[in-house]
Amino acid sequence: MSGRLADKIAVISGGGTGIGAATARRFAAEGARVVVTGRRREPIESVAADIGGVAVAGDTSETEHATAAVTAALTHFGGVDIVVANAGVGIGGDVLSVRDEDWQQMLDVNVTGAMKLARAALPALIDRGGGAIVNISSVSALSASPARVGYGVSKSALLALTRSMAYDYGRQGIRVNTVCPGWVRTPMADAAMDSLANAKDIDREEAYRRAAAHLPLRRVARPEEIAHCCVFLASDEASFVTGAVLVADGGGEIVGTGTLAFDD
């Protein structure tokens, strides 16, 4: 099969919906064979069926699940070349209000889950002579959001994990990079927009418009647009890129908040 990922074997966590599902479909379209993981069996089995992949249901924070996902890639396809750590959870709260169990869950899923999946896959990647790991972080790793302390901290930690792995395994041909999306139309973002809509007595679409009002592109992303970023970082087109942070946020990070009053 032709494509930028022809004959590559990928493991994608959180692949049932949103960015993960879009990435699984895009990878398959680019020639990859894909193992899709997630907590809910039905969505990942649906995606896997559509792309001729394999679904492995489980909790990304559990060592046994990470091992099972990699084992599935080895058993069904013969190796691992790419890992996309996309599984994530976001729960609101500031330092005074965030529950201990919610704080721990965000760390377990958003950081430890990515580490465990990488740890399970690294021997297989090394056996193949190298490969690519793409971690999905967030612009919340780069700037603060109101009452999102656990999410921001966990996504910031993912950047440090990326840099450490890029340094430690680069000599073995393994590249590790991060994508930091801004607002993307996903179930997680829909829930955030519904919360904003309820607070402001508006509908979801108006909430999305308000969220994008100060972005230079004046819109939020489609999951497929983030999937294209993942394809680039996973492919040979990014063969000299490692330890990098690719920000895909419609230009939000370049906007100076002190000048918003002058924006027409």
Structural domains of the chain, ranges and CATH numbers in brackets? 9-182+222-247 (3.40.50.720), 183-220 (no CATH)
Q: Which residues pair with 56 in a beta bridge?
A: 37
Radius of gyration of the chain (CA): 18
Contact 138, 155 (CB under 8 A): yes
- What is residue 25's predicted lDDT score, i.e. its pLDDT? 98
Contacts of 48 (CB under 8 A, 6+ apart): 24, 34, 36, 54, 55
- What is residue 257's predicted lDDT score, i.e. its pLDDT? 84
Which amino acid does the sequence have at 52? G
Catalytic residue among 151, 167, 169, 208: 151
- Please give the biggest Cα pair distance in the chain: 58
Contact 151, 138 (CB under 8 A): yes
- What is residue 260's predicted lDDT score, i.e. its pLDDT? 82
Contact 166, 242 (CB under 8 A): yes
- What is residue 7's predicted lDDT score, i.e. its pLDDT? 95
Contact 51, 31 (CB under 8 A): no
Contact 128, 81 (CB under 8 A): yes
Exposure string (b/e) for 216-238, b if CB count within 10 Å is 16 or more? Answer: eeeebbebebbbebbbbbbbeeb
- What is residue 240's predicted lDDT score, i.e. its pLDDT? 98
Nearest to 52 by CA among 28, 84, 18, 73: 28
**Is 169 designated active site?**
no
Q: How far apart are CA 162 and CA 114, in angstroms?
A: 10
Global confidence as pTM = 0.96
Paired tokens of 163:
């840099």
Contacts of 256 (CB under 8 A, 6+ apart): none
Q: How far apart are CA 200 and CA 17, in angstroms?
A: 27
- What is residue 76's predicted lDDT score, i.e. its pLDDT? 98
- What is residue 2's predicted lDDT score, i.e. its pLDDT? 79
- What is residue 146's predicted lDDT score, i.e. its pLDDT? 92
List, for the chain, all residue ranges whose pLDDT scores fall below the cut of 50: none
- What is residue 263's predicted lDDT score, i.e. its pLDDT? 76
- What is residue 1's predicted lDDT score, i.e. its pLDDT? 64
